[in-house]
Amino acid sequence: MLRRIHALPGVVLALGLTVMALTGVALSVQPALDRLASPAIPVGTSVAALAEAVAARHQGIDSIRVRPDGAVTVAFTDGETRGVERVDPATGAGLGPYHVSETTRVITNLHRAFLTGDAGRAATGAGALAMLVLTVSGTLLLARRLGGAGALLQSIRGTPAQRWHGELGRFAAAGLVLSSLTGAWMSASSFGLIPEHEAAAPMVSASGGAPAPAGTLAALRATDVASLLELTFPAPDDPTDTYGLRTSRGEAQIDAATGAELSFTPATTLDRLNGMIRTLHTGQGAWVLGLVLGLSAAAVPVLGATGIAMWWRRRAARPRIAMNAPARAADTVLLVGSEGNSTWGFAATLHDALTRAGHHVHTAAMNDLQPFSAVTERLLLLAATHGDGAAPASATAFLSRLARQERRVPVAVLGFGDRCFPHFCGYAEEMLAALTANGWPQLLPMKRIDRRSAQEFAQWGRDLGTVLGHDLKLEHVAEPPKTVALELVEREDYGVAVGAPVAILRFRRPGTDGKAGRLPSFEPGDLVGILPPGHPMPRFYSLASSSCDGMLEICVRLRAGGLCSTFLHALAPGDRVEAFIRANPTFRPAAGRAPLILIGAGAGIGPLAGLVRANAAGRPVHLYWGGRSPSSDFLYEHELAQHLAEKRLTSLQTAFSRGPDGGAYVQDRIAADAPRLRELIRQGAQILVCGGRDMAQAVTWALDPIVRPLGLDLPTLKSSGRYVEDVY
Amino acid sequence: MKFVLSAVAATTALIAPVVAEARQVTFETTLKAYGGNGAYVVLYVTDAAGVYKGTLWMAGGKAKYYRHLSDWQRVSGGRPTEIDGITGASIGSGRTLKISLDLADAMIDAGYKVHVDTAVEDGMDNPSEVVVPLDTAASGKPAPGKGYVKSFTVTF
C-alpha cells in the first residue's frame, strides 16, 4: 500500500516537483544574499526618527515598508517623479532604487505557479501536498526496509540507486516536510481556503489640525523600527487622513497633527501564524533555515531520478509467466510473496522447469490464493522478507486466506532474504510456523536463499526434484551479467600437501602490456562472478585486490566436484575467463580510524589480505586467520610479514589445525585474546569475517561472550554495520 | 486582456437601474510595459469634493492586496460589498483593460471624477495615478498616468 502511493505517483510527478524544487533551491540562497546586502535593522531607532530623516529628502512620502527580505524601502513622490528606494534603517539615507530582479521574479513565478495564473498556483499547491505524501510515505518505506523507525539512521544497503535514494531521502525529509507543509498552507491561503483576517480598521476622524512633523509624533516615537512592518503617510490633500502604522502587534491609525493613536486593531493569531509560515517557507529573515531548506530541495531531482531508476528496474524485473495453468487444473500451486520483483524471476524459472517436467503449475501472488481444486497436490511458497521481517506487500492477506482452505496439501517454503539483515527470511519462518501449527504437512524442509544466490536455489531445486521423483534443474540467472574477458597472469598454489589445494589467481585484461584493457572498478571484498564455460550461472568469489592494484586477485579453494573451482584450478597463465564485478558494499571497512578486526579461515583470507594491502594510512588492523599447516597452506605468508613491517597490519594471529602444537582453530585464538578484543571493540572496532559458514558460526560463539560485558551483542553490532560477514 | 461589459449587476449607485436614462461609457486603461507581475487596478468615482461615490471595476482577485490601492481603500473603506460582482483578473504588463458600463445621465458632466489606483507586487503603489473628470468634452482623449498607466481614455 505504502509503495503504491509512493512509487508510481513519484515517477509521474518527478518532473513537476523537480521544477518546484530547483526553483526553490535558487530562491533559497536569496535570504542569505539579502542578509549580506541589507544593513541590519538596529534596535533603538524609532520610526519617528526614520520617517523624519526620509521626509527631509523628499517632497512627499507615501510609505515606509520593511520588506520580508529585510530591505527597508520608501515609496516617495517628488513632483512628477514617483519611485521606491532602499534606505538605511539607522540613518534614513538613500541606498538607491529598490527593485526585484527579473530573474528572481521569473523564478518565483515558476516556483509558485509554473509561470501561469491560478491554474499553475493550484498545480503547485497540489504538488506541495504530493511532496508531503511522498516524503512521509518514503520515510515509512525506508524505516520498514531498515527494520523499524529506530533503525532509520542505519547504513543503507542495495543498488547505488537505492542507496542514494535512501540516503538523500532521509537527509532531506525534515526540510521537505517543512517546505511542503508550509507551501500547501500558503497555497490554500492564496485560494482563500484558509480564512484571511481582514478586520477593517474602524473609521476614525482625524483632528484635522495642521500636520506636525513626523519626527514629533508620539506614537511614532514610541515604535521601534525593528518591529515595523509598514508606515503609510496620510494623503497630502486629505486633512482627515491618518498615518497607518502596521507592526507585528497589529495596525494603528495615528493622528497626523497630534500624534495620538486613534485606533488599534491587534494582529490575530492567524495573522501571526501566516507570517510565521511565510518565514518558514521562504527563509526570508531566517537565512540559515533558507539554506537548509534549499539543500533539502536540491535532493529532489536526484530522488526523482533514482526513484525512476528503481521503479523501472522493479517493472523490468517482473517476468511474464508462460503457460500459467488455471488454479482448477493445477497439480502444483506456486505462490510468490515479494516486495520487489526479484523473487518473481526465481518463480518464473521454477515454473518453467516444473512445466517442462510435466506438471501443471499455477503461479500467483500470495494474496491471490484460490481454493485448491481436487487435483492440487502440493503448494510451493516463495517468500521474500523485507528489512524488519514484515510480510511483503503481496502476502499481507495470505495467512487468513490459507486458513479458509478446506484441504491441506504438502507445502514447501523457500525464503529469500539477506543474511546481513537481522530478520533473515523472518517472514518465511513466521509463515512456516503458522503452517506447522495448523497441521500442514511439509513437502521439504524450509530453505533460505541468501542474496538471490542462484546456487542455493539450484540446490533446493535438486532437493525438490528428489521428492517429486524426477530431475529438476533450476538455472536461474537473476540478471544476465555483462562480462569482460580476463587473462590469468600468475598463480600461486598452496595446500596440496594437506589435501586442500588453494590457489591465488591473478588476472588482468587481455592485450599487450601497453594496450591491456582497463579493469572494471572494484575494491577488496567485492565479488567477481565467473562463468564456467558452457554454464549461464555465475559463481562468485571475493576479491583480494582493488582495481588500483592493476590486477584482479582471487583466492580459490578446489572443491571436489566443484564445476567452477575445478575449471579455475586448471587454468594456466595466458588462459582466459569470462567475468563480471558485483559490488558488495556491505563488506567494507567503515570510514574513519577505528580499529579493524579481520577474521578468516582458509581461502577467506583473500579479501582480508586485500584490505590490509589497501591500508596505506596505517589504521590499526588486527588479522586472525586459520589454516591447516604452516608449511603447506600459509596463504600470503610473505606478503603479510611485509605488511606487518610496513605497519599496514598491526598484529597477526594464526591458528593451524594440523600445527606442530597439536592444532588450533581461529576461534581458539579469538577466545584466547578476549581481553584485547574486548578493548578494541570498546574503542569502536569493526569486525569483518570472511570464510566458510562453519567457521563463521564458531567465530560468533567465540565473540559473543567477549562483547556481552560491554552491554553489546552480535545482532546489535550486525545491525549497526560493525559486524559484517562474507560467508559461503 | 480585453473584455467588454455591456451590463453589470447594479451593485453600486453609479450604474443606471433604468437603461433609458443611461448612456454607455467605455473606460480603456492601457498599462506601460513595466515588466513585473500583473497589476492590481481599480477604477472608482468621487464627487468634486473627493467624496467616494462608487467603484467601476476592480482588476485583481486577492483581497489581501487591496490595501496597496490606498486611495481607494481610504475613501471607500475597502468593503467587499463595494466590488461585489465587478472584480476581474489583474492586468499584465503592457496590457489593456477595456470596460463598458451604462452610467446614469446624472453622473455625466456633473463634476464627478474617475480615479485609477494601481499597485504591483514588489513595485510601487500608485494611489489616484489618474484622475479625470466624467465630462463629455474629454471623451476619447487619452490621459497619462503617474505610475503604471500609459494612457487612460473615457469614451462616451
Which residue of chain A comes nearest to B63, CA vs CA? A198
Using CA atoms, how far apart are residues A183 and B39, in angstroms rounded to an integer?
24
Among A residues 277-336, those touching chain B with beta carbons less than 8 Å apart: none
> Which of B36, B50, B146 has the CB atom closest to A105's CB atom?
B36
Contact check, Cβ <8 Å, B126/A82 = yes
Using CA atoms, how far residue A32 sits from A15, A38, A293, in Å, is 27, 10, 12
Q: Please tell me the predicted confidence (pLDDT) of residue A192.
A: 80
Please say whether the beta carbons of A550 and A596 come within 8 A. no
Contact check, Cβ <8 Å, B124/A190 = no
> Which of A109, A196, A237 has the CB atom closest to B63's CB atom?
A196
Q: Please tell me the predicted confidence (pLDDT) of residue A1.
A: 67
Please say whether the beta carbons of A580 and A529 come within 8 A. yes
Using CA atoms, how far apart are residues A73 and A33, in angstroms rounded to an integer?
17
Contact check, Cβ <8 Å, B124/A84 = yes
Q: Residue A104 corresponds to which cell in the numbers above?
A: 528572481
What number is the average pLDDT over the span A80-89? 87
Contact check, Cβ <8 Å, A62/B36 = no
Least confident of A351-355, A476-480, B42-46: A476-480
Q: Please tell me the predicted confidence (pLDDT) of residue A138.
A: 94
Q: Please tell me the predicted confidence (pLDDT) of residue B4.
A: 35
Contact check, Cβ <8 Å, B74/A238 = yes
What number is the average pLDDT over the span A305-325? 83
Backbone φ and ψ of A265, nearest 5°: -110, 110
Strands A686-691 and A378-384: unpaired
Q: Please tell me the predicted confidence (pLDDT) of residue A693.
A: 84
Q: Coil, helix or strand for A391?
A: coil
Please say whether the beta carbons of A332 and A381 come within 8 A. no
Q: Residue B63 corresponds to which cell in the numbers above?
A: 483581497
The full set of domains in chain B, from first to last, is 19-155 (2.60.40)
What is the CA angle A375-A376-A377, rounded to 5?
110
Q: Please tell me the predicted confidence (pLDDT) of residue A362.
A: 93
What number is the average pLDDT over the span A562-590? 87
Read off the pLDDT of residues A669-706 as tens digits, 9 standing for 90 and up.
Answer: 889 999 999 999 999 999 999 988 888 889 999 989 99
Among A residues 83-102, those touching chain B with beta carbons less than 8 Å apart: 83-84, 99-100, 102
pLDDT at B1 over 50: no
Backbone φ and ψ of A720, nearest 5°: -95, 10
| A521 backbone φψ class: left, alpha, beta (φ>0; ψ -120 to 50) | beta
Residue B28, strand partner residues: B98, B153
pLDDT at A387 over 60: no
Q: Residue A613 corresponds to which cell in the numbers above?
A: 594491502
ipTM, two decimals = 0.79
Please say whether the beta carbons of A514 and A503 come within 8 A. no
Residue A626 burial (CB < 10 Å; 0-12/13-18/19+)?
buried
Please report which confidence band the pLDDT of residue A201 belongs to, taking 50, 70 and 90 as the band edges.
Answer: low
Using CA atoms, how far apart are residues A688 and A723, in angstroms rounded to an integer?
6
Contact check, Cβ <8 Å, B37/A105 = yes
- Residue of higher predicted confidence among A257 and A300: A300
C-alpha A669: how far from its chain's center? Answer: 38
The full set of domains in chain A, from first to last, is 2-33+106-195+279-312 (no CATH), 40-89+198-267 (no CATH), 318-468 (3.40.50.360), 484-582 (2.40.30.10), 596-727 (3.40.50.80)
Using CA atoms, how far apart are residues A309 and A10, in angstroms rounded to an integer?
11
pLDDT at A339 over 70: no
Please report which confidence band the pLDDT of residue A425 belongs to, taking 50, 70 and 90 as the band edges.
Answer: confident
Shortest Cα–Cα distance, A78 to chain B (Å): 11
Using CA atoms, how far apart are residues A156 and A167, in angstroms rounded to an integer?
7
Please say whether the beta carbons of A167 and A138 come within 8 A. no
pLDDT at B8 over 50: no
Contact check, Cβ <8 Å, A200/B78 = yes
Q: Residue A86 corresponds to which cell in the numbers above?
A: 532602499
Q: Please tell me the predicted confidence (pLDDT) of residue A515.
A: 61
Shortest Cα–Cα distance, A83 to chain B (Å): 7
Contacts B64 to A, Cβ<8 Å: 196, 198
pLDDT at B6 over 50: no
Residue entry with cell 537481522: A422
Strands A81-87 and A94-97: antiparallel
Read off the pLDDT of residues A354-370 as tens digits, 9 standing for 90 and up.
Answer: 999 999 999 988 878 88
What number is the average pLDDT over the span A9-32? 92
Q: Please tell me the predicted confidence (pLDDT) of residue A552.
A: 93
What number is the average pLDDT over the span A242-256? 89
Q: Please tell me the predicted confidence (pLDDT) of residue A275.
A: 87
Q: Please tell me the predicted confidence (pLDDT) of residue A318.
A: 67
Question: What burial letters (b/e) apply to A319-347, b meaning 16+ CB within 10 Å?
Answer: bebeebbebeebbbbbbbbbbbbbbbbbb
pLDDT at A146 over 90: no
**DSSP per residue over A307-356, as a string?**
HHHHHHHHHHH----TT---GGG-SEEEEEE-SSSHHHHHHHHHHHHHHH
| A632 backbone φψ class: left, alpha, beta (φ>0; ψ -120 to 50) | alpha
- Residue of higher predicted confidence among A88 and B20: A88
Using CA atoms, how far apart are residues A540 and A558, in angstroms rounded to an integer?
14
Please report which confidence band the pLDDT of residue A516 belongs to, taking 50, 70 and 90 as the band edges.
Answer: low
Among A residues 153-212, those touching chain B with beta carbons less than 8 Å apart: 190, 196, 198, 200, 203
What number is the average pLDDT over the span A501-505? 92
Q: Please tell me the predicted confidence (pLDDT) of residue A124.
A: 94
Contacts B50 to A, Cβ<8 Å: 237-238
Read off the pLDDT of residues A38-69 as tens digits, 9 standing for 90 and up.
Answer: 777 888 888 999 999 999 999 889 899 998 88
What number is the average pLDDT over the span A173-193? 92
Contacts B125 to A, Cβ<8 Å: 62-63, 75
pLDDT at A241 over 70: yes
Sign, Cα dihedral of A18, A19, A23, A24: negative
Residue entry with cell 540507486: A161
Query: In chain B, what's the furthest Cα-to-Cα distance?
Result: 45
Q: Given CB atoms, is A585 within the 8 Å cutoff of chain B?
A: no
Shortest Cα–Cα distance, A193 to chain B (Å): 12
Q: Please tell me the predicted confidence (pLDDT) of residue B2.
A: 34
Size of interface A-B (CB pairs under 8 A): 44
Contact check, Cβ <8 Å, A75/B124 = yes
| A495 backbone φψ class: left, alpha, beta (φ>0; ψ -120 to 50) | left
What number is the average pLDDT over the span B37-61? 91
pLDDT at B93 over 60: yes
What mean pLDDT is reported for chain A? 87
- Residue of higher predicted confidence among A17 and A158: A17
Please report which confidence band the pLDDT of residue B9 belongs to, taking 50, 70 and 90 as the band edges.
Answer: very low
Using CA atoms, how far apart are residues A43 and A87, in angstroms rounded to an integer?
16
Where helices occur in A147-214 by DSSP H, the ranges are 160-190
Q: Given CB atoms, is A235 within the 8 Å cutoff of chain B?
A: yes
Q: How many CA atoms lie within 13 A of A626 on its CB side?
A: 22
Query: Choosing among B74, B129, B130, B146, which should be mutated to test the A contact, i.e. which has the most A CBs within 10 A?
Result: B74
Please say whether the beta carbons of A719 and A422 come within 8 A. yes
Please report which confidence band the pLDDT of residue A340 belongs to, taking 50, 70 and 90 as the band edges.
Answer: low
- Which of A244, A267, A246, A228 minimizes the C-alpha distance to B74? A244
Q: Residue A220 corresponds to which cell in the numbers above?
A: 511614532
- Residue A122, C-beta contacts closer than 8 angstroms, at least 6 positions apart: A187, A191
Which residue of chain B comes nearest to A75, CA vs CA? B124
Question: What burial letters (b/e) apply to A477-493, b meaning 16+ CB within 10 Å?
Answer: ebeebeebebbbbebee
Residue entry with cell 446614469: B104
Q: Please tell me the predicted confidence (pLDDT) of residue A412.
A: 93
Q: Please tell me the predicted confidence (pLDDT) of residue A305.
A: 95
Read off the pLDDT of residues A436-492 as tens digits, 9 standing for 90 and up.
Answer: 888 899 999 988 888 778 888 999 999 999 999 998 888 887 666 678 889 999 999
Using CA atoms, how far apart are residues A376 and A336, in angstroms rounded to an integer?
17
The count of other CB atoms within 10 Å of the CB of residue A548 is 11
Which residue of chain B comes nearest to A241, CA vs CA? B74
Please say whether the beta carbons of A170 and A299 come within 8 A. no
Q: Please tell me the predicted confidence (pLDDT) of residue A159.
A: 79
Among A residues 112-131, those touching chain B with beta carbons less than 8 Å apart: 117
Q: What's the alpha-carbon Rg for chain A, to the nearest Å?
A: 36
- Which of A337, A332, A333 minimizes the C-alpha distance to A430? A337
- Residue A334, C-beta contacts closer than 8 angstroms, at least 6 positions apart: A347, A350, A351, A354, A361, A362, A363, A364, A380, A382
Q: Please tell me the predicted confidence (pLDDT) of residue B151.
A: 94
Q: Please tell me the predicted confidence (pLDDT) of residue B14.
A: 61
Contact check, Cβ <8 Å, A63/B71 = no
Sign, Cα dihedral of A572, A573, A577, A583: positive
Please say whether the beta carbons of B57 and B97 come within 8 A. yes
Shortest Cα–Cα distance, B115 to chain A (Å): 14
Please report which confidence band the pLDDT of residue A83 belongs to, taking 50, 70 and 90 as the band edges.
Answer: confident
Strands A621-627 and A651-656: parallel
Using CA atoms, how far apart are residues A543 and A720, in angstroms rounded to an integer?
24
Least confident of A235-239, A563-567, B24-28, B122-126: A235-239
Read off the pLDDT of residues B98-137 as tens digits, 9 standing for 90 and up.
Answer: 999 888 888 888 889 999 999 998 888 888 889 999 988 8
Using CA atoms, how far apart are residues A153 and A196, in angstroms rounded to an integer?
41
Please report which confidence band the pLDDT of residue A402 belongs to, taking 50, 70 and 90 as the band edges.
Answer: confident
Q: Given CB atoms, is A238 within the 8 Å cutoff of chain B?
A: yes
What number is the average pLDDT over the span A98-108? 88
Number of residues in chain A = 728
Q: Coil, helix or strand for B30?
A: strand
| A323 backbone φψ class: left, alpha, beta (φ>0; ψ -120 to 50) | left
Which of the residue ranges A315-324, A426-435, A566-575 has the most confident prediction, judged by mean pLDDT? A566-575
